[in-house]
Amino acid sequence: MSSPRVVLAYSGGLDTSVAIPWLKERGFEVIALTVHVGQPVDLQAVRKKALASGARRAYIVDAREEFARDYLLPAIAANAIYEGVYPLSTALARPLIGKHLVAVARKEGATHIAHGCTGKGNDQVRFDLSTTALAPELKVIAPAREWGMTRDEEIAYAAAHNVPVIAKKSSPYSTDENLWGRSVECGVLEDPAIEPPEEVYDWTQSPLTAPDDPEHVRIGFEHGAPTHLNGVRMGLRAIIEQLNRTAGKHGVGRIDHLESRLVGIKSREVYECPAATVLLAAHQALEALVLPRDLLDFKHVGELRYSQLIYDGLWYTPLRTAIDAFVASTQERVTGEVAMKLYKGSSRVSGRTSPYALYRHDLATYSEGDRFNASSAEGFIYVWGLPSRTWAAVGEQKSRPATATVPRQRRTSR
């Protein structure tokens, strides 16, 4: 009887490296899958490491363009930022990886998929729910959720099974990288009272040593999608890669977040998201220029829910599809250019233009050329305030004390 097959989401890091021999010890034939979403690693070396660690086969899928087009672009249009801080870099990659895990599992005739997520993290939910939504017949194994080893014990286990790992006891950081950002946790970062040491950063220059001169970048949008960088038409992936380098050089995109995890605990996370920080701010600035207030307000409500469902692993749901459809309908006029000033860790809007701008100088100016009909303001204010005025008047009448009456005394005869 042949061994059951499991497709493992393989990054080459500590958890997934240890997972290969661990799964084999439990009778599984392991198929490794590495999905390229922009992580700066030698993918062929990762593939060789998976095979050397005991995987039967090892797949490499280049999904960078798919990631940018089908996941990051909708997130930009929806201004997806969890808790107002985190651009969801890791969270957005998980449903894409889950999709390819299912595809390889069906190709290989596997009965299980596996991932390296722990029982405390959010990624376990994202992988599990992606599998449930796309292939409910597959079973999920999460070795790190079961084996109960500490990171030091994992390192020792890897050494005993001749599996080389990057993690060291002196630098036990756990990292994840893709086009949209880099996340770092563990080690001294587990104490939120301690400032992240400079050694945890890799994509961003320290603002203290960043260039002394600011740099301006111009981002062109068409229907909500970034299409130009400094006047040059580029694909979204190329824009993101260039902005990661340019903004990172100026120390832009460092995030220190005390995060509310789905499993109910608080977690200290450090992120580097240079391109995401710049693009999201630019997109919001352009929307503020071209969309009316009521639409901006209503869209913001949807954006909060959209960010939360991505974080919570609910990408493959009708709600996400419905919000995407609404957001897409709002992007028709989100076309124009936004200038961003990068300087010493900051990214600020320095200008914006659009053929659909709702800003009109002849209405906004206080100088010559003012065409606003100021005489109509008094009547507008009266009508606008009528409900408040009526409410106050009725309340005043009801609260006014009634006039006291003194009964007459009858005269009595003497």
Domain ranges of the chain: 5-163, 178-291+333-360
- 70 flagged as catalytic: no
Say how many C-beta atoms besides its own lie within 10 A of residue 312's C-beta. 17
pLDDT tens figures, 208-267: 999 999 999 999 999 999 999 999 999 999 999 999 999 999 999 999 999 999 989 999
Q: Give the position of tokens 């303001």.
A: 377
- In contact, 347 and 247? CB cutoff 8 Å: yes
* SS3 at position 270: strand
- Each of the 414 residues of the chain gets a pLDDT tens digit; together they read 689 999 999 998 888 999 999 999 999 999 999 999 999 889 999 999 999 889 999 999 999 999 999 999 999 999 999 999 999 999 999 999 999 999 999 999 999 999 998 888 899 999 999 999 999 999 999 999 999 888 788 889 998 998 877 655 555 688 899 999 999 998 899 999 999 999 999 999 999 999 999 999 999 999 999 999 999 999 999 999 999 999 999 999 999 999 999 989 999 999 999 999 999 999 999 999 999 999 999 999 999 999 999 999 999 999 999 999 999 999 999 999 999 999 999 999 999 999 999 998 888 888 888 888 888 999 999 999 999 999 999 987 777 666 555 555 555 544
Q: Give the position of tokens 């493992």.
A: 8
**CATH annotation of 178-291+333-360:** 3.90.1260.10
d(CA 290, CA 283): 11
Catalytically annotated residue among 64, 123, 176, 183: 123
Catalytically annotated residue among 15, 320, 347, 354: 15
Residue 253, judged by CB atoms within 10 A of its CB (0-12, 13-18, 19+), counts as: buried
- Superfamily of domain 5-163 in CATH is HUPs (3.40.50.620)
CA 301 to chain centre: 16
d(CA 43, CA 147): 27
In angstroms, the Cα distances linking 218 to 119, 171, 183, 236, 287 are 43, 38, 27, 14, 16
- 324 flagged as catalytic: no
- In contact, 279 and 252? CB cutoff 8 Å: no
* SS3 at position 77: helix
Amino acid letter for position 215: E
* Residue in 221, 217, 233, 219 with CA at minimum distance from that of residue 355: 221
- 15 flagged as catalytic: yes
Q: Is 211 left (phi over 0), alpha (psi -120 to 50) or beta?
A: beta
Residue 367 phi, psi (nearest 5): -100, -165
Q: What angle separates helix 274-290 from helix 293-311, to the nearest 10 degrees? A: 150
Name 152's Cβ contacts closer than 8 Å, sequence gap at least 6. Answer: 169, 172
- In contact, 311 and 260? CB cutoff 8 Å: no
Q: What angle separates helix 318-330 from helix 293-311, to the nearest 10 degrees? A: 150
Q: pTM above 0.75? A: yes
* Residue in 76, 73, 67, 74 with CA at minimum distance from that of residue 286: 76
Amino acid letter for position 167: A
Catalytically annotated residue among 47, 94, 254, 268: 94
d(CA 279, CA 78): 12
d(CA 182, CA 270): 8
- 212 flagged as catalytic: no
Amino acid letter for position 46: V
* Residue in 74, 80, 42 with CA at minimum distance from that of residue 60: 42
Catalytically annotated residue among 69, 106, 145, 174: 174
Indicate the DSSP class of residue 202.
S
pLDDT tens figures, 363-389: 888 888 888 888 899 999 999 999 999
d(CA 244, CA 251): 10
Q: Which two tokens stand for residue 265?
A: 């605990």
Indicate the DSSP class of residue 206.
-
d(CA 341, CA 365): 25
Handedness of CA 160, 161, 162, 165 (dihedral sign): negative
d(CA 218, CA 279): 10
